[in-house]
Amino acid sequence: MVGRHTARTARAALLAVGALVLTAAHTTAGAASPPAAAPLPSPAQALGAGRPDAAVLRALQRDLHLTPSQAMTRLANEAEAGARAGLLRNSLGDHFAGAWLSGTTSALLTVATTRAADAAAIRAQGAEAAVVPASLADLRAVKEKLDAAVTRADGVNTPVRSIDVRTNRVVVQATTRAAAQSLIARAGVAGQRISVRLSEYRPRALADIVGGDPYNIDDTYRCSVGFSVTKGDQKGFATAGHCGERGSTTTGAGDAAQGTFQASTFPGKDMAWVGVTGGWTVTPKVRGQDGATVDVAGSVQALVGASVCRSGSTSGWHCGTIERENATVTYEEGTVNGLTGTTVCGEPGDSGGPYVAGAQAQGVLSGGSGDCTSGGTTFFQPINPLLSDLGLTLVSAAAEETPSAPPASPGPEETPAADAWTAGRVYEAGATVTYGTVRYQCLQAHQSQAGWRPEGTPALWQRL
């Protein structure tokens, strides 16, 4: 296996324009509203899609062939659809089989279920219903068997295993059909809704080229800064794990001493963070086109089909869509689980940099195939698992406080609930919390912020 530092690239930041969240006030029937409550923010307002960065809009127009109006509409639709899909995911439970966006402006949300009786409820939320044989949990179980059966030899010829919610199938990407069938047979999942996608390309970890906002590792390798983060009083940035090992030192612009890798995981996952010295200031910005910067407002996870843009130190700004989630990719150096696949191109020099959906951080570039001249695809390490696993807090642009009252204080003999909502924690879709004395369920995966309190952000939380 090639060493972790072999041919490591400076993979520049990928910036995405994907899901934000739905508009909608959702409260339990009979719950009284405060008499003079201010209007709750729409998803676009709450999560930054209502004021998209000009660089994001320009890149969307160019790469997705949109007019300015279509680009704005697409962002608004994607913001709204995320919460709508979350409401349906929670109500469908074990029958949920995935959700995705389609259409030039992401106007169509489709939600899949294994139970035909759910179709009416799905349509009532303004979504298209797809009744399919396998739930998302069923597909994940099949993929896990494939991943467990992969040998090092398989990794060469079957480098990617993923779930395609749009076809309700597990997809094995292989160089030959025989290689795919051999893996399927050994995993014992023949006939279980598996498709084979033939491709001569194998994803590789992109490295070793200077980019916009690059950094050097041990005076030998280069990668790109991802997102600014903090851990307690320590400031730093998130990046790809294949860029450096714990203890590796980094330098920034002008070869100035910058920091040290505090933690790094690769393979298995592709995540790391660098703690910087006092001479460096963390900001909520990522590098955009022509030297401009884009503010990051949070980390709400985008839907499959949502638009996503990337800023690369080598290849610059490029956009595409989110194609698949929870993909397992076998690189020459080893296998990485839980990646998100996109149609955005990438090149050596772009590694470790950020993907943003609208104003929402999505992840850091892990690897890909092809290039930005003839066309290519990339995979990113999602940001929320990175923040959660490494105990980090994303540095985000100052969000406007939502106009909601503080939660009711516990009585003299009461103590705060053990599952009380907390700012700075990563919540997965479906998680439940207590805010004041009220229970809420999470609609979209995100790291919570002080301005996103459950009662004032129905784009992210559903009152139970």
- Give me the active site residues, please: 242, 270, 351
Give the whole-angstrom CA distance, residue 49 versus residue 37. 23
On whether the CB atoms of residues 26 and 230 are closer than 8 A, the answer is: no
Amino acid at 77: N
On whether the CB atoms of residues 449 and 421 are closer than 8 A, the answer is: no
φ, ψ dihedrals at 21, nearest 5°? -160, 170
Give the whole-angstrom CA distance, residue 173 versus residue 180. 8
What DSSP string runs through 217-248?
A: ETTTEEEE---EEEETTEEEEEE-GGG--TT-
Residues with Cβ within 8 Å of 335's Cβ and at least 6 positions away in sequence, in order, are 147, 150, 155, 267, 268, 328, 329
Residue among 68, 72, 122 nearest 99 (CA)? 122
3 state DSSP class of 37? coil
3 state DSSP class of 84? helix
Q: Cis peptide leading into 267, omega within 30 of 0?
A: yes
Please compute Rg for the chain using Cα positions: 22
CA distances to 27, 55, 67, 151 from 154, in Å = 50, 41, 44, 5
Q: How many CB atoms lie within 10 A of CB 356?
A: 32
What DSSP string runs through 137-192?
A: HHHHHHHHHHHHH--HHHHHH--EEEEETTTTEEEEEESSHHHHHHHHHHHT-TTS
Amino acid at 258: Q
